[in-house]
């Protein structure tokens, strides 16, 4: 029983380390041929958006909104995949409920 508890504590420590590491990693999503770039960290938190002024057309805001949305979605997808991969290393691929991924 003691061994099992130690293993659980070690896994918890490793998960916390992985989450801190993910927080520091920045992933990029882009759309509109790179005109809009979105940056999120490995915890799927939006960090920044960069927009090329050439795509800013006051008469067509809807297109810009669509491009920004696509870039953010792409960045979030990359962050989700990275998080699943990194947490899978810690858990050995087991899906542990309540672990936040």
Q: Answer with the residue of higher pLDDT: 100 or 84.
A: 84
pLDDT recorded at residue 96 = 55
CA 76 to chain centre: 5
Residue with tokens 């990275």: 82
From the list 66, 81, 28, the residue with the least C-alpha distance to 50 is 28
- Residues 53-91 have pLDDT tens digits of 999 999 999 999 999 999 999 999 999 999 989 888 887
CATH classification code of 2-91: 3.30.1310.10
DSSP-derived 3-state class of residue 49? strand
**What's the CA angle centered on 71, arms 80 and 54, to 5 degrees?**
160
Tokens of 62: 């809807």
pTM (predicted TM-score): 0.77
The shares of helix, strand and coil residues in the chain, as percent rounded to the nearest 5, are: 60, 20, 25
- Domain regions of the chain by residue span: 2-91
């Amino acid at each position: 029983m003691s061994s099992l508890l130690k293993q659980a504590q070690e896994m918890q420590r490793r998960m916390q380390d992985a989450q801190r590491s993910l927080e520091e990693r920045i992933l990029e999503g882009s759309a509109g041929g790179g005109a809009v770039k979105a940056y999120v960290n490995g915890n799927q938190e939006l960090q920044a958006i960069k927009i090329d002024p050439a795509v800013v057309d006051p008469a067509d805001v809807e297109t810009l909104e669509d491009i920004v949305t696509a870039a953010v979605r792409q960045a979030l997808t990359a962050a989700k995949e990275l998080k699943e991969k990194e947490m899978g290393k810690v858990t050995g691929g087991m899906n542990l409920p309540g672990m936040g991924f």
